[in-house]
A and B are shown apart, each in its own frame.
Chain A
């Protein structure tokens, strides 16, 4: 079981290297944001596997926290690339 989990950790690290390749090379900004989102997902899975490996349930809050932070980051970046601002103060900004 431990050997299997370490092999899974190795494969996940290889896929994180793939996401990092897209993050560095990606021709446009949304490419990089999508790669960052996927890196967040890969980190969540690594936290889950390491909490099995270290035999402690105390890391499991980190999963929910990382999911929320990755989502907020994606939404903020997509609003920035679409409108140029993240929080708009105009009253008639939605016309």
Chain B
């Protein structure tokens, strides 16, 4: 009974993670520009990999009796660095002039970037 409960918990965590990784792949293929792709990749890939690693951790802890803190370290590290990596890449893409999608309505960043450039020229 207990083993069945543990197994179903692991199966739920791993299938949620696999679903989110698949959603990441679909988003990377179908979304129109780099910024929406970075959005898809950083959010859902981080959530998916965290969920799968929680499933792996529960399997090794509750079935094999092997409490493994490295997986928890990996989960925390991915939770911190996944969104940071996506943010840095999107920022580098904006400042190196990658164009936005055709459907973009407004670009709030453009006047700020112009202001920065004029301030740098005045100095």
Using a CB–CB distance below 8 Å, which chain A residues touch chain B? 1, 4-5, 8, 11-12, 14-19, 21-22, 28-31, 33-35, 37-38, 41-42, 44-45, 48-49, 51-52, 55, 57, 60-61, 63-64, 67-68, 70-71, 74-75, 77-79, 81-82, 95
B residues whose Cβ falls under 8 Å from a Cβ of A = 7, 11, 14-15, 17-18, 21-22, 24-26, 28-29, 34, 37-38, 41, 45-46, 48-49, 52-53, 55-56, 59-60, 64, 66, 68, 70-71, 73-74, 77-78, 81-82, 84-86, 88-93, 95-96, 98, 123
| Contact pick for B18, options A12, A16, A68, A79, CB 8 Å | A12
A15 adjacent to B25 (CB under 8 Å): yes
Find the B residue at minimum CB distance from A60: B70
Contact assessment for B89 and A52 in the assembled complex, using a CB-CB cutoff below 8 Å: no
B residues within 8 A CB of A30?
34, 38, 89-90, 92-93, 96, 98
Residues of A within 8 A of B92 (CB): 30, 77-79, 81-82
Contact A64 B70 (CB under 8 A): yes
14 contacting pairs across A/B (C-beta < 8 A): A12-B21, A15-B21, A15-B22, A16-B25, A19-B25, A22-B28, A34-B89, A38-B25, A45-B18, A60-B60, A63-B70, A74-B89, A78-B85, A78-B92
